[in-house]
């Protein structure tokens, strides 16, 4: 049941991300992944295939041979989203090198939510393993590392659970890290107890022994390791206090590390010295949503994860709406503004919704959540007769929502910015290319631009996934002011049939840049 819950939660989050294909993902897609995979069979080779090379060797060099156990698919092919959902082909990764893909996945900067949605689609896609996978699943590890860095803990756990045939220590380490931040470390701890070869980390083994109830063994291993100098310093102190809380009585607090591991984070909590997650990297924010933190911590964590696309819009709205704020200033002003707007929209009164929107818009802009806000309220705002500043905000919200094309068709733009957005949202170039370099960079992608020759060559070689990742790199470069790269990136997305992604990315770049809310 826990596995089903995580998988459905992962799919729900991805469904609401606003990605190009995931937006239509059925919640039951994962239920038939196994049977779907079994129905796919490769066509047999011809009975007498022609030979394209002479039957002699040209070198005595021993060829590189990739070894994969017979009958066992590579863990690199594991995914949560089938091809029928993503629209991506099965050979998405197959013709690229695993090391090249892994490097791109780990380093691509996600500037706007459209790029985050596309990245999550790639990370969770089911596709054939790339070249160089072997039995180490390097692409899966890179995907998991990126999911972890974005704070997507539940999707990461679901992906690991689908790759459980791979029992490598590298995969186990990631499994435990994800589980520790989800509050569900019992399963990996039981696995480690059954197979100690999964981890050589003594701290992990001691913690898991204690976590599964074998305190005597945990104490014995700890005592031996400490006597041999295998555990000392801060790690030795926090493990000692974890195993015997009485040691903390009257003692000064242990200084926390600047960047704790998930295990250190949980050990500090177990000692009664829980670390605040706000100064820590984004993955730790996920732990605040496990039910052990106060409302303010949950809202702040939810905002951090929503900015990365790792939390669904409705989940964030649920956090905002949980109760009445008991204070003012900072996050509470944002909570109150969202609650007031939600109530005003529900009343159907434009005279209440207009002022509420004018208050809420700058609050969400300062939080970097304008796209999330727009996906939540854009459609409803379009039904109200707003005027002045409120009407301008409502129009932008609708353009940042999934209704962007319908809204754009009815627009009467009065500025170059809105003329370019109207054209792009409807899939065309504006009648005149503006002189403004940002507007021109976007508009030209719908005029006569094509993807760069380097990406075109990769596309011809069948390296679609690599093309998409490199186009995402170009987009990030373009957002930093390299306008030719922006044109190239948007043209590349269009050339590989990611038209919706190209439009959303262009609109978000223009509106968020104009708002000063571009990441």
Q: 388-437 pLDDT, tens per residue?
A: 999 999 999 999 999 999 999 999 999 999 999 999 999 999 999 999 99
- Over residues 217-245, mean pLDDT: 90
Residues 6+ apart with CB under 8 A from 207: 189, 218, 239, 242, 263, 266, 267
- Listed residue (334, 311, 308) closest to 321, CA to CA: 334
Residue 279, pLDDT score: 94
For residue 97, report the phi and psi dihedrals to the nearest 5 degrees: -80, 135
Residue 72: pLDDT band with limits 50, 70, 90: low
Tell whether the model's pLDDT for residue 200 goes beyond 60: yes
**R_g of the chain, CA atoms, integer Å:** 26
Residues 331, 296 contacting (CB under 8 angstroms): yes
Residue 249: pLDDT band with limits 50, 70, 90: low
pTM: 0.86
Cα–Cα distance, 114 to 515 (Å, whole number): 17
270: which strand partners?
none
Residue 164, pLDDT score: 74
81: which strand partners?
125
Residue 328, pLDDT score: 86
Cα–Cα distance, 185 to 177 (Å, whole number): 9
Residue 248, pLDDT score: 62
Residue 250, pLDDT score: 57
Residue 10, pLDDT score: 44
Cα–Cα distance, 339 to 326 (Å, whole number): 13
- Over residues 230-236, mean pLDDT: 86
- Domain borders along the chain are 2-33+78-166, 282-320, 331-402, 416-515
3-state secondary structure of 382: coil
Sign of the torsion formed by the C-alpha atoms of 114, 120, 122 and 125: negative
Cα–Cα distance, 466 to 111 (Å, whole number): 18
Residue 383, pLDDT score: 95
Residue with the larger pLDDT of the pair 133 and 58: 133
Tell whether the model's pLDDT for residue 300 goes beyond 70: yes
Cα–Cα distance, 410 to 298 (Å, whole number): 39
Residue 448, pLDDT score: 85
Cα–Cα distance, 401 to 180 (Å, whole number): 35
Residues 78, 163 contacting (CB under 8 angstroms): yes
- Over residues 493-509, mean pLDDT: 98
Residue 253, pLDDT score: 79
Residues 6+ apart with CB under 8 A from 492: 451, 452, 455, 467, 468, 470, 471, 474
Residue 12: pLDDT band with limits 50, 70, 90: very low
Residues 199, 176 contacting (CB under 8 angstroms): yes
pLDDT in tens, 14-38: 443 444 443 333 333 223 233 333 3
Residue 247, pLDDT score: 67
Q: In the numeric block, which tokens belong to residue 343?
A: 């109530």
Residue with the larger pLDDT of the pair 197 and 42: 197
Our CA angle for 145, 147, 148, nearest 5°, is: 65
125: which strand partners?
81
Residue 24, pLDDT score: 34
Residue with the larger pLDDT of the pair 338 and 250: 338
- Over residues 484-506, mean pLDDT: 98
- Over residues 104-110, mean pLDDT: 97
DSSP state, residue 71: T
- Listed residue (127, 126, 124, 186) closest to 152, CA to CA: 124
Only one residue has tokens 């070689």, namely 461
In terms of C-beta distances under 8 Å and separation of at least 24 residues, what long-range contacts does 192-196 make, across chains too? 195/167
Only one residue has tokens 């295939």, namely 49
Residues 6+ apart with CB under 8 A from 124: 10, 14, 22, 79, 80, 81, 143, 155, 159
Tell whether the model's pLDDT for residue 101 goes beyond 60: yes
Residue 177, pLDDT score: 97
Q: How far is CA 293 from the centre of its chain?
A: 23
DSSP state, residue 39: H
């Amino acid at each position: 049941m826990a596995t089903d819950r995580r998988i459905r939660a992962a799919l729900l989050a991805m469904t609401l991300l606003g990605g190009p294909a995931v937006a239509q993902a059925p919640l039951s897609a994962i239920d038939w992944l196994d049977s779907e995979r079994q129905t796919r069979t490769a066509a047999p080779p011809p009975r007498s295939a022609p030979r394209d090379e002479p039957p002699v060797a040209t070198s005595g060099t021993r060829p590189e041979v990739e070894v994969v156990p017979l009958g066992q698919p590579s863990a690199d092919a594991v995914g949560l989203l089938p091809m029928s959902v993503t629209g991506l082909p099965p050979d998405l990764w197959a013709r690229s090198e695993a090391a090249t893909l892994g490097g791109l996945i780990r380093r691509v900067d996600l500037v706007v939510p459209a790029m985050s949605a596309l990245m999550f689609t790639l990370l969770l896609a089911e596709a054939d393993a790339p070249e160089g996978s072997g039995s180490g699943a390097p692409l899966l590890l890179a995907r998991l590392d990126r999911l972890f860095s974005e704070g997507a803990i539940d999707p990461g756990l679901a992906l690991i659970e689908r790759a459980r045939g791979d029992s490598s220590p590298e995969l186990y380490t990631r499994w435990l890290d994800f589980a520790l931040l989800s509050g569900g470390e019992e399963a990996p701890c039981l696995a480690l107890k059954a197979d100690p070869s999964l981890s050589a980390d003594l701290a992990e083994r001691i913690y898991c022994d204690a976590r599964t109830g074998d305190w005597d063994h945990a104490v014995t291993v700890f005592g031996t390791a400490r006597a041999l100098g295998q555990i000392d310093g801060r790690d030795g102190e926090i493990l000692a206090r974890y195993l015997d809380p009485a040691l903390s009585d009257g003692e000064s607090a242990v200084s926390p590390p600047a960047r704790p591991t998930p295990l250190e984070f949980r050990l500090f909590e177990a000692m009664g010295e829980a670390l605040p997650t706000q100064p820590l990297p984004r993955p730790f924010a996920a732990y605040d949503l496990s039910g052990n933190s106060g409302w303010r911590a949950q809202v702040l964590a939810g905002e951090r994860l929503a900015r990365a696309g790792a939390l669904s819009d409705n989940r964030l709205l649920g956090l905002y709406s949980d109760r009445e704020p008991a204070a003012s200033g900072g996050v509470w002003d944002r909570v109150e503004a969202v609650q007031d707007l939600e109530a005003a929209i529900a009343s159907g009164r434009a005279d209440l919704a207009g002022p509420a929107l004018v208050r809420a818009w700058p609050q969400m802009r300062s939080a970097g959540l304008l796209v999330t806000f727009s996906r939540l309220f854009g459609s409803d705002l379009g039904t109200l007769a707003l005027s002045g500043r409120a009407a301008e905000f409502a129009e932008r919200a609708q353009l940042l929502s999934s209704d962007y094309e319908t809204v754009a068709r009815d627009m009467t733009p009065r500025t170059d910015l809105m003329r370019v957005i109207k054209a792009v949202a409807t899939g065309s170039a504006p009648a005149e290319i503006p002189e403004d370099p940002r507007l021109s960079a976007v508009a030209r992608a719908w005029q006569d631009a094509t993807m760069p020759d380097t990406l075109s060559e990769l596309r011809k070689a069948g390296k679609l996934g690599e093309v998409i990742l490199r186009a995402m790199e170009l987009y990030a470069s373009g957002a930093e002011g390299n306008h030719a790269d922006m044109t190239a990136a948007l043209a590349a997305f269009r050339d590989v049939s990611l038209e919706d992604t190209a439009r959303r990315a262009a609109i978000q770049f223009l509106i968020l840049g104009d708002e000063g809310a571009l990441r």
